[in-house]
Every structure is written in C-alpha cells, then in structure tokens.
Structure 1
Amino acid sequence: MKKLLLTVSFTLALAFLCPNAICKEADTEGGKPDSAKPAKVTPTPVKPAPTKVAKAASTPEVEEVPPMTIGSPAPSLDIENWIHDGEGRFPKVTEFEPGKVYVVEFWATWCGPCIASMPHIVELQNKYADRGVQIVSITREDVETVNAFLEREVRQNSRQSDDDNVADDETGEDESDEEPAPLTYRELTKSYCLTSDPDASTNDDYMKAAKQNGIPCAFIVGKDAKIEWIGHPMSIDDALEQVVSDSWDREVYREEFAAKQESRAVITQLSKLLRSKKEDEAIELIDDYIANGKSESSKTQLKSIKLSMLMTRVKTAQAAANRAASEMLADDSLDASGVNQIAWSVYEMSRQNRANKNAVLKMALEATQSAVAGAGTNAVFLMDTIAHLQYQLGDREAALKTQRAAVEAATPEVRSRLAKYLTELENEIADEDGDSQEVDSDNE
C-alpha cells in the first residue's frame, strides 16, 4: 500500500501540477512546508481589503465565494517589504494599472525549484520591461531571511555563460586571466521586483484563493487587471507573449485550467481513499473520472494508477491487470507519452510475473514502437521502454541495439541516465559470451 501511495503522489507531481519541479507550500506562517498536512480542498474567500488589519478575536461567518480562477479580478497587492524595484524602473504596486501586464510570482529561499527559476525570471523581465510587463516576486519569509539568502553566491549552473555577456575582441576570445567576481543572488535578481510579505496576506489572496499548494507559482495579471494564467514560471513564456501581444484566448485557457483543478481534486480524494484502504471506492472514483472527466492527460495518469492498483491485488492481478493493460494499449486517444507510461507499467508487471508475455507484453512493445515516430524529443524515453520490453521478451540483441540508439539520440542531461541500462545490457551479454567461450573450450 505504501508503494501505491508513493505512485499516486508521484503521478500528482508529474501530471497535475506542472512539468517542472515544485515545492510543497506550508500552511503555517514562514518556515518550510509541512509535507504531512493534506492539501485543502475547500475554497478560501478572497480578501477584498487592500490594507493590513489586525485579526479580530472572533470573526463573523462570511458567505463562501468561489475560488479565484482564470478571469477573476486580480486582488490588490499589499506587500510589506520591497527589496528590489528593478533598479528604480518599477513602482511599488498596490492597484494594477490598466494596459499593463504583471506577473505575480510566489517563491521561498528554501525552495530549490524557486531558486532555479530565478535566471529565467530575470530573462523574462529584461525581455518585456519595455513592453509594459512588471514582475513582482513574493515570499512570506521575513526580510532578514531574504537578505541573508541574497548574499549567497549563485549556483554555477544558474549563471549565464561568458558568451552570453561580452567578447573582448573580434574573435570573441577573453584575454583576461582574472576570474570573474562571484555573482550573488542579490545581483542576479536586481532587475525585477523581489519582495517579502511576512504576514502572508498576499499569499492568502492569491495562492490560497486559487487553491495552489506548490511553489514556485506565477499568476499573469492581464491588461484589464484580471487573472489570465496560473502555473510554473518556467512554463510561462508562451502565455506571457500572447497576453502581451493581445492574442491570448482567456476562455479556452479557463476551460483547460478548470479541467486541471478537477483532476487535482480527484487525485486528492483518491489519496485519501487509498490511505483509508478503500481500494474498491478508489477504483470507482477512477472509473468515474475516466468516463466523465475533461482532461485526457489526467485520464491516462489515472488509468496507470488503476493498473498499479490491480497489480497489487494478488488474487486478481493476472486476469484483471492484463485485461486492463490490453484495453488501455488499444485506446487510440493515447498520445506517445500515455503509451509510454502504460507500456512501462506492463514492463513492471512482467518483472513481477503478472504479465502474459505472449500477449500483453508484445502488445505493449508494438504500441510503443508505433508511437516513437510521433514522440518528438520524447522519443528517446520510448526507445528506452522498448529496450526494456525487448529484454523481457528474451531478445537481448535487439534490446542492446535499441538502447544504443536511445543513448546516441539523447541530450546530455538524459544520456547519462539511459547509459546506465546500456551498460547493464553490455555487461550481461559480455558475461554470457564469456561463459559460452569457456564451455566451448572445455568441450575441446
């Protein structure tokens, strides 16, 4: 059961939040996130007042309002500490100025993905500064914590290369022997508005109101001061360009975002059912979403979870899991990523002796091979799956050939990971060849 819960948690991070890394946000003021605390599913009212006020001893009941979403008016900003203002280029924002575009982003000093996003935020602010875009980055930590963080040196892989900066002569060669001075996060982030709001009022107005539980998280506020987009700042580029150039279709994205929120709620409910060991109810929930849900990618992820659940049921695993896998692989609506995910689940089943190698495993291989052509940059991941399936079917030479092709086609970031399996295959085949030669020698 613990392994299954981990699978669901990983699926949530992979499919329903964003394709980039995030950190779980805390519900308490300041500090690091409490991973044991479940995500809230009840909508939080948007506070209308822009002025900070002391909380009363007893708060009268107020009518619950719908969660903030795409097209909702953007709440006013009431930020306590403005640490950077783009070197004087940007005013301290309270009300959003008509005709301008704003990015309101939430981060924390302890959040690795937030820090990794900073160079990209710098690039965006520099790119759009003259096109009416102002980026305001907000943490709920105190100003002392933020200032201490800003004195740290920027991680080497976050810095621009020398070629992105200056060339000393026509050949582009740097004749200086001096090492460049270390770049601090204070220097890196000075081009956009970096702020601190320790009472978390802005966090409540945006993150809680929109039921967003992970950081970094960015909100695009459009020219009419309404929310246009919500997501990871590393995925903001296309949306921001379209909002700035007045080509953004808010209504289309509103439906897409609503589908994501629906998926998120289902996964949260699913996690609770699995923790309570209510597996039958969990499968019913999955089946209901597969039949009625709006997000096709979410349906694929839930099908994979269902397959994993069936695999854990010893009495029904062989028949039910094989049948479910066959039905999923025959689904024409699956994209390359979906095919790859289901095929990998079949591979995992085969390792546990729960896949029919003469049927489901071969079907997974054929489906994955057919999906490679349309996979684009993800083709190498399908090739890796193909190699594993070929190995399980006993065709080690084909597996070796496929994995070599995958390694050769992979980017440097992915290549090392794929190369590990290639090394395993090469070593195993080399050992078998050595054993064979030894037997032949003995026979002589």
Structure 2
Amino acid sequence: MNRCFSRIAGLRRGAAFAALVIAATVSMSGQRARGEATLGIGDKAPTLDIEHYVQKGKEGFGEVTDFEEGKIYVVEFWATWCGPCIQSMPHLVELQNKYRGEGVRVISISDEEVEKVEELLEQDYPGREETFGELTSAYTLTVDPDGSVSEDYMQAAEQNGIPSSFLVGKTGLIEWIGHPMELDEPLAEVLADRWDREAYKEQMKRQEQFQIAMQKVNQLAGSGKFEDALKVVDKLLEELKSQDDPRSNLIRKQLTSFQYNLRLDSGDQSDEVMAFFRKQLNEAKSDNRELTQFSYNLMASMQQGTDPGALAGETIAALNESVDSADDEVKPLMYVLIAQINASMTKFDEAIAAQKKAIEASTGRQKERMTQLLEQFQEMADSQDESEEAK
C-alpha cells in the first residue's frame, strides 16, 4: 500500500517505475537510515498531547490524553498534501462506523496548522457529494502543529511514511503499526482477544530487515545499476522461501512483480517481461480500480522516461473498454490516465480528447483541476506544433 514519501535524490528517469513498485512492496519508502526505535509492538502507548481538536466525531467524543482500559484506539498520522492519506479517509470512516459501539475510536493527527486543515475540510471530497469535513465527521480529526505527538509515535517507532496508524489495544499497549488500509484484520483480532502480539512482533522485525535491503535496491536502481539491484532481489526471494506466513507470501508476490518492473525499467522488453505485464493487465480488467492502479503506475513510469513498448497502447485500449461502465467516482480518473499516457507518447490530440471527457465526468472543484490539466495538454500540443514548424 502506497505512502507519501520523498523522491530519492538523483533518481534517474528510467528508475522511477522501480521506485514506485518499491513503495508498494515495502509500504515505507523514503525512510531515513534506521536508528534504535524506542517505541515498538507491546510497548505502552504514549499519552496524547494534542493541541487542537478540529472534529470530535459524530458521537461527540471528548478529548483523549490517556487511553481508557478496555477500549481500543487507532492513532493515525496524515497530512492534507498526502494523496494516500486522502484515499484512506473513507476506510477510516467505515471502520469507525462499524465498530463505534464496541469501544473503538479513530483519532487522526496532522502536524500542520489548523487553518490548513480547516481549508481542506471545506472542499469537496473527490468523487463524493460531500465535503472532506462531512466525510471525516465520523471520527476524531486533530491538529498538532508542534509535532509532539508525531515525535512520541512516528519518530520513536522509526515510522516516516504516512499515512501511518498505531493500534492501541485494551490494555493501552501498541498492538500493531501499519497502513490504515491494512487495519481490518488486526483490529478485528484485537477486538476478539485473538491477536498474537508476539508473532506480529517477530513478523515486523523481519519486515524491517527487508525494508533495509529494499533501500539498498532502491539506491542501486536509482543509479542505474539494475543488474546489481536484481541480484539483491534474487537473494531476498531466496530468503523468503523458508517463510510461509500470509505477510511473507504477500511480500514474495510483490517482490516477484518488482523483478519484472525493474527489468522493464532497464529497457528489457523481452517476451517474458511483456507477457508478465499483459497477464497483470488482463487480470486488472475485471476490476476498474485495479485497472486504474495498474494504469497509474504505468503512466507515472512513462512520465519519468520508461518505455513500455506496446503495453502503453494496450493499457489505453483496456481503459477505453472499461470506462463507460466505471463508477462515477472512478470514471474521471480513468479518462485522465488515458490522456496522460497519450501525452507521454506525444499524442496530444488523443490526450486532449480524453481530457475533455474527464472534465465532462467531473463535478465541483475536481472539474476545475481537470480544466487546468487540459490547458497544460493544449500548451504542450502548441509547443510541439511550433517545433515542427521551426524544422
């Protein structure tokens, strides 16, 4: 699950696709070098010294300092500029509404200024007929500009990617740390008193070691040393063979996918590589959201210089085949992806035509952003025409 992260300095254009997949694989790209974490699984959750409560939830939850025994808390860190944080909001609403009567409380914390968050809350949430404020009113939304809570949790646990959530169990101990989109299973297990904290602690230790190795891969790919990067990936896959738990199996699957992304990023358009991606594309066609994610990753890599060959046209075709049946929430993004992939191939007429459809499918502030992107495509087309005339 993607998180907001800082792009690696010196990342060359051809390595962007690899970097994107690393982010999805380890769920924690852009971390600083790890030191000695002072907050981990099984430790007592620090008290919350939050400066501002912007929204306390529909039930009128009060402010929280210490954690009440017998209740469960999700302490989540986010920011207005973080796309994955925004995408996680509906899921946090779903979890809060589902477990509201079972002593579960979601508390989201941003270290931005109050005015910045309040400005976002007044805007329309993309694809929904409600504002950010109306959507997130289900749970507790807070602001802590001095960053003290982030220091107690994020820095202490060596967690630098957001969104990031800490599951505080019935006895006030940290039970789980991870992406809020992955909360469902641990939250349900903690509620049912079935959570194996020690097993998860060991699993997280292995994951940290894996992340350190993947940082090395990221550095190698960023400097164009694809062969060396692939050797590290091969070694990681060999080590994972002896681990047969759900998380290791998922990492193994994602790491295998990364191998092929890295090969494509290096310019490998062999039959084997193209067959792998065509299989992914065909599987994604059954779910518009999966197709959108696949297309987004491809588009982002193309914008950084990766040449996916015929896969670009095939992805556009798949999007065109599926867009008419897509939900209103997803349809504008699918048209945007069609436009951007075409633009990456300098097919600006096709890009402009698709972007106009994206505008028609959009509402509110989203339509304004879509119009701005159309203007950019038109400027790029005009620039291309001028260059051709100059020749």
TM-score if structure 2 supplies the norm length? Answer: 0.61
SS of match in other structure, 1:77: coil
CA offsets 1:3-52 (integer angstroms, 9 cap, x no match): 5421221112322229xxxxx8xxxxxxxxxxxxx521213543xxxxxx
Correspondence for 2:55: 84
Q: Which structure has the highest helix share of the two?
A: 2
| Alignment map for 1:270-281 (pairs within 5 Å) | 270-281=217-228
Question: Quick one: distance in 2 between partners of 1:207 and 1:376?
Answer: 37
1:105 aligns with 2:76: yes
CA offsets 1:58-106 (integer angstroms, 9 cap, x no match): xxxxxxxxxx343333222222222333367433222222211001011
| Alignment map for 1:359-378 (pairs within 5 Å) | none
Question: Quick one: distance in 2 between partners of 1:273 and 1:76?
Answer: 40
Cα distance change, pair 120–39 in 1 and its aligned pair in 2 (3 A): closer
1:206 aligns with 2:153: yes
CA offsets 1:184-230 (integer angstroms, 9 cap, x no match): 61x44344322111121211222223333332222111112122222
Question: Quick one: distance in 2 between partners of 1:237 and 1:281?
Answer: 37
1:146 aligns with 2:121: no
Cα distance change, pair 158–210 in 1 and its aligned pair in 2 (3 A): farther
Any gaps of 5 or more consecutive residues in structure 2?
1-10, 296-309, 343-391
Question: Quick one: distance in 1 between partners of 2:35 and 2:12?
Answer: 29
- Aligned counterpart for 1:284 among listed residues 226, 231, 249: 231
CA offsets 1:236-265 (integer angstroms, 9 cap, x no match): 233323322223333443344344333322
| Alignment map for 1:23-422 (pairs within 5 Å) | 38-43=30-35, 45-46=37-38, 68-86=39-57, 89-150=60-121, 152-155=122-125, 157-159=127-129, 183=131, 185=133, 187-293=134-240, 294=243, 295-307=248-260, 309=262, 325=272, 343-344=276-277, 407=322, 412=327
Any gaps of 5 or more consecutive residues in structure 1?
19-23, 25-37, 47-67, 161-182, 327-340, 348-364, 386-391, 393-398, 425-444
Please tell me whether Structure 1 or Structure 2 has the larger radius of gyration of its CA atoms: 1
Correspondence for 1:17: 27
Answer whether contact 1:4 1:309 (CA < 8 A) is retained. Answer: no
Answer whether contact 1:81 1:196 (CA < 8 A) is retained. Answer: yes
SS of match in other structure, 1:126: helix
Answer whether contact 1:117 1:234 (CA < 8 A) is retained. Answer: yes
Correspondence for 2:353: none
TM-score if structure 1 supplies the norm length? Answer: 0.55
SS of match in other structure, 1:229: strand
CA-based RMSD of the aligned residues comes to 4.5
Question: Quick one: distance in 1 between partners of 2:73 and 2:175?
Answer: 10
Correspondence for 1:57: none
SS of match in other structure, 2:142: strand
CA offsets 1:380-406 (integer angstroms, 9 cap, x no match): 96xx99xxxxxx8xxxxxx9xx979x8
SS of match in other structure, 2:175: strand
**Counterpart of 2:124 in structure 1: which amino acid?**
V
SS of match in other structure, 1:248: coil
**Counterpart of 1:153 in structure 2: which amino acid?**
Q
Question: Quick one: distance in 2 between partners of 1:343 and 1:118?
Answer: 33
Question: Quick one: distance in 2 between partners of 1:408 and 1:190?
Answer: 31
Compare relative contact order (CA 8 Å, sep 6+) and give the higher one, 1 or 2: 2
Correspondence for 1:7: 17
SS of match in other structure, 1:83: strand
Alpha-carbon deviation of 1:377?
6.0
Correspondence for 2:4: none
- What is the total number of aligned residue pairs between the two structures? 305
Alpha-carbon deviation of 1:148?
3.3
Alpha-carbon deviation of 1:407?
4.8
Answer whether contact 1:380 1:409 (CA < 8 A) is retained. Answer: no
Alpha-carbon deviation of 1:145?
2.5
Cα distance change, pair 411–260 in 1 and its aligned pair in 2 (3 A): farther
Alpha-carbon deviation of 1:312?
7.0
**Counterpart of 2:23 in structure 1: which amino acid?**
A
Answer whether contact 1:104 1:218 (CA < 8 A) is retained. Answer: yes
Question: Quick one: distance in 2 between partners of 1:223 and 1:101?
Answer: 5
Question: Quick one: distance in 1 between partners of 2:33 and 2:110?
Answer: 23
Question: Quick one: distance in 2 between partners of 1:81 and 1:209?
Answer: 22
**Counterpart of 1:195 in structure 2: which amino acid?**
T
Question: Quick one: distance in 2 between partners of 1:154 and 1:262?
Answer: 41
Answer whether contact 1:140 1:200 (CA < 8 A) is retained. Answer: yes
Answer whether contact 2:74 2:167 (CA < 8 A) is retained. Answer: yes
